[in-house]
Amino acid sequence: MQQSFKRAAEAYKSLQLAQKQLEHTRERIQAARKELQVLDKKVDREYREYQDLENASMRKLFNKILGKGEDQLEKEKQDYLEAVLRFNQKRKELELIEFEEKVLRDKLTNADQIKVQFDQELQKYSHYLVEQNTKTGQYLLQTEKTIQSKLGDLKEINEAINSGQAVEEQLDQILKLLDRAGWWGAPEWRKDNPLKVAANKIESIDTAVKLIPIANHKLQKFILELKDIYLDDEAKLDYNQTAFSRFSEGFYDSMIIDWVLKGKAKNATNVVSSTRDKLIVTLRSLKMRKKNLQAAISLLQKRKRDTILKELSN
Give phi and psi for 109, each to the nearest 5: -60, -40
Residue 115 lies in a domain: no
In a domain, 56, yes or no: yes
Sign of CA dihedral 85, 87, 92, 97: positive
* Whether residue 205 is found in the same domain as residue 265: yes
Say whether pLDDT at 212 is over 80: no
Q: What is the DSSP string of 199-212?
A: HHHHHHHHHHHHHH
pLDDT of residue 273: 83
Task: State which residues form the domain around 216.
Answer: 142-307
| Residue finishing a domain among 61, 91, 110 | 110
Residues 278, 196: one domain?
yes
Decide if 22 is inside a domain. Answer: yes
Residue 191 has pLDDT above 60, yes or no: no
Whether 192 and 301 share a structural domain: yes
Say what the pLDDT of residue 56 is: 57
**83 is a domain residue:** yes
Task: Judge whether 133 lies within some domain.
Answer: no
Please report the beta strands in 102-229, taking only residues with DSSP state E, as ranges in sequence order.
Answer: none
Q: Does residue 203 register a pLDDT over 90?
A: no
What is d(CA 214, CA 173) in angstroms, rounded to the nearest whole number?
12
Whether 243 maps to a domain, the answer reads yes
Kindly tell me if the per-residue pLDDT of 190 is higher than 60.
no
How many domains does the chain divide into? 2
Share of residues in the chain with pLDDT > 70 (%): 72
In this prediction, residue 255 carries a pLDDT of: 38
Please tell me whether residues 72 and 171 are part of one structural domain.
no
Q: Which amino acid is at 39?
A: L
Q: Which residue has the higher pLDDT, 247 or 142?
A: 142
DSSP structural state of residue 238: P
CA-CA distance, 130 to 201, in Å (whole number)? 68
Please check whether residues 85 and 146 belong to one and the same domain.
Answer: no
Helix (H) and strand (E) counts in the chain: 8, 0
CA dist., res. 173 & res. 156, Å (int): 26
**How far apart, in Å, are the Cα atoms of 138 and each of 123, 131, 178?**
15, 9, 60
Distance CA 180, CA 148 (A): 48
Q: What is the CATH number of the domain that holds 302?
A: 1.20.1330
pLDDT (tens digit per residue) in 229-243: 765 554 455 555 554
pTM value?
0.56
Of 59, 87, 110, the domain-final residue? 110
Residue 216 in domain: yes
Same domain, 91 and 147: no
| pLDDT confidence band for 147 (50 / 70 / 90) | confident
181 with 89, same domain: the answer is no
pLDDT band at residue 83 under the 50/70/90 scheme: confident
pLDDT at 232: 54
The answer on pLDDT for 213 being more than 60 is yes
Residue 2 is predicted with a pLDDT of 62
Q: Per-residue pLDDT for 293 more than 70? A: yes
> Closest Cα to residue 144, out of 286, 4, 152?
152
Do both 238 and 302 map to the same domain? yes
Residue 120 lies in a domain: no
